[in-house]
Amino acid sequence: MTDGDTALTNLLGLPRPALEAFVAQLGSKPFRARQLMNWMYKRGASSFEDMTDLAKDFRARLGAVAQVRPPEIVATQNSADGTTKWLLRADARQAFEMVFIPEADRGTLCISSQVGCALDCSFCATAQQGFNRNLSTAEIVGQVWLACRELERLAVADGAADSGGGDERHVTNVVLMGMGEPLANFRNVVPALSILLDDFGFDLSRRRVTLSTSGLVPQIYKLAQESNVALAVSLHAPDDALRNELVPINRKHPIAELLQACWHYLDEQNGRSVTFEYVMLDGVNDSPAQARALARLLKGHPAKVNLIPFNPFPGTRYRRSPLPVIQRFRDELLQRGVLATIRRTRGDDIDAACGQLAGRVIDRTTARLGSKTFGVAVQP
């Protein structure tokens, strides 16, 4: 809750109950917390002096002990397809990334939960960077706050703010699919989710907030008790032998155990379905036989498969499956009653596509989960 460089508490890291407790310590009523949230999340204010319906003495007390501070932008890249990637400062040496993907009917913001990643998935650029640390709740929420403000600024600059052009210039969906494994940072991610969903926060529908996990089974069960967002699972293989190679956490939590946790999550949260992400690797996991095996795993369950064309990065040994192979794989699933779609690659010209986020991870403080020390980076 407290900023690492100062004694000031970053209010972006406080869900409503914690913010109510914070203002109570300053001698104010709980409704002041709702006013603060309205200013921060609905109006994008970061200066207490701008919060004009707060009493002047209360604003002064806030200024002495608190701040609204999003991550700092190190660099911005814009793709030819309209995708924007921001490199954000974690500290003097480390950096992480977030990506905004505009579409005609939505604007999806892909945010990070860690600086690097310890799960060591062999086809992912982030995993090859190693792991430094978890992002704080304020750093997670601050990404959404910052993106909303930056997009609004850009819209005003180009005259599109009131053009009626739809949602493509605004954040309508948030996906935790950036750098890191969200469930390995459970303690900071869950409060961030509550702020995204809170009526006085970003007020997003639970179906418009998606958490993607590589398969930390105990944390999926725990998430079912503490939050209610859409769940996406990085599956990438129809059998344990191959998934052990591609997603090493599978050695600890094999596919059958993972799927049982997924169906439990839906039962507890009255969810519509789980999305299973499946990156298409040429000659590795893309055969019709593997599609049929995947269909046997998922048929009869509330599942949909998102087939992701592999996005290359320097040093990788994998190649993207040809489009006809991906289409054949999709058709095999559809013919067997499993909903399947092919993700359109966005932002690959600026290394912003799925699996390409690398940030800047210089100090690697934790061993990868592919080693013998499974679970070393998981925060309860």
Tens-digit pLDDT profile for residues 327-342: 999 999 999 999 999 9
Given a contact cutoff of 8 angstroms between Cβ atoms, the answer to whether 30 and 20 are in contact is yes
Say which CATH topology domain 72-350 has. TIM Barrel (3.20.20)
Q: Give the model's confidence band at 357: pLDDT under 50 very low, under 70 low, under 90 confident, else very high.
A: very low
Of residues 110, 148, 262, 354, which has the active-site annotation? 354
Query: Residue 377: pLDDT above 80?
Result: no
Q: Give the model's confidence band at 101: pLDDT under 50 very low, under 70 low, under 90 confident, else very high.
A: very high
Q: Give the model's confidence band at 369: pLDDT under 50 very low, under 70 low, under 90 confident, else very high.
A: very low
- Structure confidence at residue 354 (pLDDT): 53
| pLDDT tens profile 184-233 | 999 999 999 999 999 999 999 999 999 999 999 999 999 999 999 999 99
Q: Give CA angle at 59 (54, 61), nearest 5°.
A: 135
Closest C-alpha to 166, from 105, 82, 222: 105
34-42 contacts at long range (C-beta below 8 A, 24 or more positions apart): 34/200, 36/11, 37/198, 37/200, 37/201, 38/200, 40/11, 40/12, 40/68, 40/145, 41/145, 41/195, 41/200, 41/201, 41/202, 41/203, 42/200
Of residues 49, 72, 97, 150, which has the active-site annotation? 97
Structure tokens at 188: 């900071």
Phi/psi for 121 (5° steps) reads -65, 130
Asked whether the CA dihedral 254, 256, 261, 262 is positive or negative, the reply is positive
Structure tokens at 312: 């290359």
- In sequence order, the 6+-apart residues with CB closer than 8 A to the CB of 91 are 4
- Structure confidence at residue 224 (pLDDT): 96
279-304 average pLDDT score: 97
Say which CATH topology domain 9-67 has. DNA polymerase; domain 1 (1.10.150)
Query: Residue 267: pLDDT above 70?
Result: yes
CA 89 → CA 74, 93, 305, distances in Å? 6, 8, 34
Q: In the chain, what are the domain boundaries?
A: 9-67, 72-350
- Structure confidence at residue 122 (pLDDT): 82
Q: Is 354 a catalytic residue?
A: yes
Q: Is 97 a catalytic residue?
A: yes
